[in-house]
Amino acid sequence: MIQAGVIGVGQTKYDAKRRDVSMAGLVREAIDNAMLAANLEWDAIDAVILGKAPDMFEGVIMPELYLADAIGAVGKPVLRVHTAGSVGGSTAVIAASHVCSGQFKTVLTVAFEKQSESNATWALSPRYPYSPHINAGAGGYFAPFIREYIRRYEAPEHIGWKVAAKDRQNALKNPLAHLHIPGIDEKMVSDTPMLWEPLRYLESCPSSDGACAMIITAQDQVGSRNVAWIKGMAVRSEGTLSAGRDEVNPQAGIDCAKDIYNQAGIQNPFNEIDCAEIYVPFSWYEPMWLENLGFCDLGEGWKLTDKDATAIDGELPFNMSGGVLSSNPIGASGMIRFGEAALQVMGLAEDHQVEDAKVAMGHAYGGAAQFFAMWIVSSSLD
Amino acid sequence: MSAEDTPKDYSESPINLEYFYTAGSATTRFLNQVKEGNIVGQGCPKCKAVYVPPRGSCPRCGVATDIEVPLTDKGCIESFTVVHIPIPGNPIVPPYVCAMIRLDGANISFLHLIQDIDIEKIRIGMRIRAVWKPQEEWTHSLENIKWFAPIDEPDVDVATLRFQES
């Protein structure tokens, strides 16, 4: 198979309201940064793959058409991807698949959300026909799964506060992060109001404007560029309302992780992966995904969090950039995970760089925790 | 500068969509029974899983759920959250309890309210039963059930709720 690698990652500054730019300006900011990082001219781009979450978040239907000029897609193949919150990840996988197919040498991929143009929490909570109107945003949907995780494994409540504080402390090292909360600690998190029990305000992700772009190219196009080689990538999904589904530990997540570890030749992910950007929009998803992704046994995830294994200087750093808990332009959030993983193995993560990071994982999930996308990137091709 | 002279680089323009929802045959069968105060799940002919509310097919097997399975309005709380923020345009006043309701004999849960109990006393596995609106108010909607309320029966171990193909 053709080997593909990331040669440029570009991001915007993430913020609650980027009123200084239009949707097109926002997307172009990330793309320009990616093109500069890759040191490429526009004629090198063979196709553009764009991802974002529901169009109603901005009220612009099929925005990839309106954005054709901004994304440099005029006269080129363009494909739109939408897999809810995991979309940034699955967009990256689909873009890389275009390169691996041999039909495209170099592909630009971009994902974005400009959430200030509507209200995402309530866009996610419409009144469904013939049902009581009690659904209250993504937090209200995931909170019962989290409560069941806590009950199943007798996890203490400070674990959630700890993840929330740790990711925001990491965000202080990332100038692009939306939330910079000086002095953030567990106490500050635990003092914030309850939103959806057991989730408090600071255990929840913000609503952000932002975009992330990557340039993915084939091995023979790389030249002397710094590359994050894609060693394994996969997407999986499962039925939301399927009998036998375990929402706390979805089978699709287990299968997706196994697939990328096999592709990358990873036997023991905890030991062989140097750091990971994992989609944690609500604090408790860190221990839940530690288990789901096979980094530890069931019920052991919260213990790894508790002993600081996921701290930036821990055994398996998670979300060095500050993660989804610090910046959440939904459509872009998955691609930010994939792009930040690439930056780590390229040695370009600046103040939030993990020393000697050679192998990193990017992860995204979405919908009712039924869509998954993941990849493993490495500093070396071998 | 007066407010009128202040440059503004954005404006608000709320969008409203009206749409027709076609229930389809499976949901129509279900809602016609709900209108009469009955809850009738639909079973998969292959793996025998029972879906309520039914969507017409079994995601496990990809076949139509054409077996009608009458259920009672009793079940248990599979999990729940206490919502502390109001839903815009909704009269329901926080805090309120939104629970995954698993009816006896069903293999998936649906979301509904829990009331008639102190919030602190609600537990995963607690037995509950539907509290219906007066019959003259019944329509084609699960809103015919006002909420679910606890009943005096021993808690259920929710680990036993996981569907296993027999």
- Residues A158-188 pLDDT 10s: 999 999 999 999 999 999 999 999 999 999 9
What pLDDT, on a 0 to 100 scale, did the predictor assign at position B3? 60
Nearest CA in chain B to A194: B84
What pLDDT, on a 0 to 100 scale, did the predictor assign at position A59? 86
Say yes or no: B121 and B47 in one domain. Answer: no
Residue B8 backbone dihedrals phi, psi, to 5 degrees = -130, 130
Q: Is residue B123 part of a domain?
A: yes
Domain that holds residue B60: 21-71
Tell me which of A241, A248, A249, A251 to substitute to probe the interface with B (most B C-beta atoms closer than 10 Å). A241
Nearest CA in chain A to B21: A129
In whole angstroms, give the CA distance from residue A378 to residue A366.
25
In whole angstroms, give the CA distance from residue A277 to residue A344.
10
Say yes or no: B81 and B155 in one domain. Answer: yes
In whole angstroms, give the CA distance from residue B30 to residue B138.
14
What pLDDT, on a 0 to 100 scale, did the predictor assign at position A320? 98
Check B60 against A242: CB less than 8 A apart: yes
Say yes or no: B109 and B38 in one domain. Answer: no
**Model confidence at A1: pLDDT above 80:** no
* C-alpha dihedral, A50 to A222 to A352 to A200, nearest 10°: 20
Q: How many CB pairs under 8 A join A and B?
A: 114
Single out the residue in B54, B71, B88 at which a domain terminates.
B71
Superfamily name with CATH number, domain A4-119+206-378: Thiolase/Chalcone synthase (3.40.47.10)
How confident is the model over B71-84, as a mean pLDDT? 97
How confident is the model over B47-64, as a mean pLDDT? 95
Check B9 against A19: CB less than 8 A apart: yes
Single out the residue in B35, B55, B71 at which a domain terminates.
B71
In DSSP terms, B69 is beta-bridged to B41
**Model confidence at A88: pLDDT above 80:** yes
What share of chain A in percent tops pLDDT 70? 100
Q: Is residue B43 part of a domain?
A: yes
For residue B53, cis peptide bond before it (omega within 30 degrees of 0): yes
Residue A217 backbone dihedrals phi, psi, to 5 degrees = -135, 165
Check B82 against A194: CB less than 8 A apart: yes
Say yes or no: B107 and B148 in one domain. Answer: yes
Helix, strand, coil distribution of chain B in percent, nearest 5: 15, 30, 50
How confident is the model over A204-223, as a mean pLDDT? 97
In whole angstroms, give the CA distance from residue A36 to residue B100.
49
pLDDT in tens, A182-193: 999 999 999 999
Hey, what are A229's tokens? 């080689």
pLDDT in tens, A304-337: 999 999 999 999 999 999 999 999 999 999 999 9
B130 in contact with A, Cβ within 8 Å? no
CA B94 vs. chain centroid, Å, equals 18
Q: Is residue B2 part of a domain?
A: no
Nearest Cα to Cα of residue A167 among A264, A289, A39: A289
Cβ distance A211 to A332 under 8 Å? yes
The distance in angstroms from the start CA to the end CA of chain A is: 14
Say yes or no: B128 and B86 in one domain. Answer: yes
Hey, what are A331's tokens? 């459509």
Cα angle A125-A126-A128, degrees, rounded to a multiple of 5: 120
Cβ distance B56 to B22 under 8 Å? no
- Per the prediction, chain A carries an average pLDDT of 96
Say yes or no: B85 and B27 in one domain. Answer: no
What pLDDT, on a 0 to 100 scale, did the predictor assign at position B9? 76
Q: Is residue B97 part of a domain?
A: yes
Residue in the block written with tokens 């909360």 = A181
**Model confidence at B1: pLDDT above 70:** no
Cβ distance A99 to A2 under 8 Å? yes
Check B113 against A134: CB less than 8 A apart: yes
The distance in angstroms from the start CA to the end CA of chain B is: 75
In whole angstroms, give the CA distance from residue A104 to residue B68.
51
Say yes or no: B30 and B99 in one domain. Answer: no
What pLDDT, on a 0 to 100 scale, did the predictor assign at position B11? 81
Query: How many residues are there in chain A?
Result: 382
Task: Tell me how many domains chain B contains.
Answer: 2
Say yes or no: B37 and B84 in one domain. Answer: no
Q: Is residue B166 part of a domain?
A: no
Q: Is residue B14 part of a domain?
A: no
What pLDDT, on a 0 to 100 scale, did the predictor assign at position B2? 59
Q: Which residues contact A268 (CB under 8 A, 6 or more apart)?
A: none
Say yes or no: B146 and B91 in one domain. Answer: yes
Say yes or no: B78 and B119 in one domain. Answer: yes
In whole angstroms, give the CA distance from residue A354 to residue A280.
19
Domain boundaries, chain A: 4-119+206-378
Hey, what are A341's tokens? 């993983």
CA distance A322 to chain B (A): 26
Say yes or no: B77 and B155 in one domain. Answer: yes
Say yes or no: B105 and B122 in one domain. Answer: yes
Q: Which residue among B110, B124, B165 places its CB closest to the CB of A151?
A: B124
Q: Is residue B5 part of a domain?
A: no
pLDDT in tens, B87-118: 777 788 899 999 999 999 999 999 999 999 99
In whole angstroms, give the CA distance from residue A286 to residue A376.
18
pLDDT in tens, A34-65: 999 999 999 999 999 999 998 988 989 999 99
Helix, strand, coil distribution of chain A in percent, nearest 5: 35, 20, 45
Between B164 and A32, where is the model more confident?
A32
Nearest CA in chain A to B8: A19
In whole angstroms, give the CA distance from residue A250 to residue A84.
16
In whole angstroms, give the CA distance from residue A92 to residue A233.
9
Q: Number of helices (H) and strands (E), helices first, in chain A?
A: 12, 11
- Per the prediction, chain B carries an average pLDDT of 92
How confident is the model over A246-263, as a mean pLDDT? 98
Residue numbers in A near B27 (CB within 8 A) = 130
